[in-house]
Amino acid sequence: MKMKNVLVAGGGTLGSQIAYQSAYFGKQVTVYDVSDAAITAAEKKIDGWDASYRTDMHATDDQINAAHANLTFSTDLAEAVNGKDIVIEAVPENLDIKKSFYKELSAVAAPETIFASNSSTMTTSELNGFTDRPDKFLNLHFANQIWVQNTAEIMVSDKTDPDVEKAVVAFAREIGMVPIVMQKEQHGYVLNALLGPFTNAALALWGNGVADPQTIDKTWMIATGAPRGAFAIMDEIGLPSLHTILSNGRTDDVPDGFDAGLDKIQQMVDEGYKGQENGKGFYNYPNPAYESKDFLK
């Protein structure tokens, strides 16, 4: 299966990164979004990634220009999907929005076009019924800052054609990702299934007054050799988003102290602590304390 022409639906945080990464690695990419204003915002985000690719990927001017030359933008779904081998859907994490998007997409896409969802929380079987092609549908999940945190988690349903899975695994490699192929469906894939209980436990220790965030991170870093701890990761996610994710996803089996920890995060958000985004979180940025040698003493 040819995987050269790509449609990225939704040019927000992740969509703009997926589009850039694919274009940077030589794919012809169209970004589809709902309005001219959304497209303008997507173009601005994409321009913003230039600096990251220069710093982190040592991209040259020629490479940056070539990436931009591979990108087009559209607010017309039928026109945008015409001739595409794969659609990567990165519309908001809302079941109704995904459902109506896939209905509209199914009506205008050629039968051979593969659909891949970047949904963080919905499984392949929860989404494939909204499409006219469960055999050509799977999840392809990227992490924020995809050019450096380059996992591509691949989840299929029992209806996905194995050749489609193979083609998407190859595509992921072609755009510089490390494919993580899951053997069965799992909420949160591999990464978030690990990260969720980890951040919940850290938050509960803090909420319960067992230890402060720096001590909790330091313990993890010294004992496992990890470069960062849970609270540093929370700063990267961003404290307002983190609060929303943890409140919406709260289950009955959270550890003791979790709710108190969540309240403390709310208090930080109210006081203007957003994490890495505004340089103020559990740590101050740039040059957070956990990067200094003394932190581990």
In the sheet where 86-89 sits, what is the strand order? 71-74, 28-32, 5-9, 86-89, 114-117, 137-142, 151-155, 178-181
**Nearer to ligand NAD among residue 59 and residue 116 (C-beta):** 116
Q: Which residue reads 């006219």 in tokens? A: 132
**How many amino acids of this chain bind ligand NAD (CB under 6 A)?**
24
Q: Across the chain, which distance is largest between two alpha carbons, in Å?
A: 61
- Using an 8 Å Cβ cutoff, are 142 and 189 in contact? no
User: Among 9, 87, 169, 216, which residue sits at the site for ligand NAD (rule: CB under 6 A)?
Assistant: 9
Closest CA to 142 of 168, 166, 161, 160: 168
Angle (CA) 160 162 166, round 5°: 115
Q: Is 275 among the residues that bind ligand NAD (CB under 6 A)?
A: no
194: its two tokens: 């690990």
User: Among 7, 22, 33, 80, which residue sits at the site for ligand NAD (rule: CB under 6 A)?
Assistant: 33
x/- string (CB under 6 A) for ligand NAD, residues 87-116? ---xxxx---x---x---------------
**Nearer to ligand NAD among residue 44 and residue 173 (C-beta):** 44
Stretch that binds ligand NAD, among 117-125, 154-162, 245-253, 266-274 (CB under 6 A): 117-125
**Nearer to ligand NAD among residue 33 and residue 217 (C-beta):** 33
Stretch that binds ligand NAD, among 86-94, 126-134, 206-214, 285-293 (CB under 6 A): 86-94
Beta carbons within 8 Å of 109's beta carbon, 6+ residues apart: 81, 84, 87, 115
Q: Is 55 among the residues that bind ligand NAD (CB under 6 A)?
A: no
Q: Is 51 among the residues that bind ligand NAD (CB under 6 A)?
A: no
Q: Is 149 helix (H, G, I), strand (E, B) or coil?
A: coil
- Using an 8 Å Cβ cutoff, are 32 and 80 in contact? yes
Rounded to whole angstroms, how far apart are CA atoms 230 and 253?
19
The least distance separating ligand NAD from the CB of residue 99, rounded to whole angstroms, comes to 10
Q: Is 34 among the residues that bind ligand NAD (CB under 6 A)?
A: yes
**Nearer to ligand NAD among residue 117 and residue 207 (C-beta):** 117
- Work out the number of other CB atoms within 10 angstroms of the CB of residue 56: 12
The least distance separating ligand NAD from the CB of residue 183, rounded to whole angstroms, comes to 21
**Nearer to ligand NAD among residue 84 and residue 141 (C-beta):** 141
Stretch that binds ligand NAD, among 33-41, 152-160, 249-257, 281-289 (CB under 6 A): 33-41
Q: What per-residue string of b and e applies to 240-274 under the rule 16 or more CB within 10 Å gives b?
A: bbbbebbeeeeeeebeebbeebbeebeebbeeebb
Stretch that binds ligand NAD, among 8-16, 62-70, 156-164, 257-265 (CB under 6 A): 8-16
What is the number of H-type helices and E-type strands within the chain? 12, 8
Q: Is 15 among the residues that bind ligand NAD (CB under 6 A)?
A: yes
Alpha helices by DSSP H, listed for 129-175, are: 162-174
**Nearer to ligand NAD among residue 142 and residue 290 (C-beta):** 142
The least distance separating ligand NAD from the CB of residue 280, rounded to whole angstroms, comes to 20
Contacts with ligand NAD, residue ranges (CB under 6 A): 9-15, 32-34, 38, 42, 90-93, 97, 101, 118-120, 141-142, 144
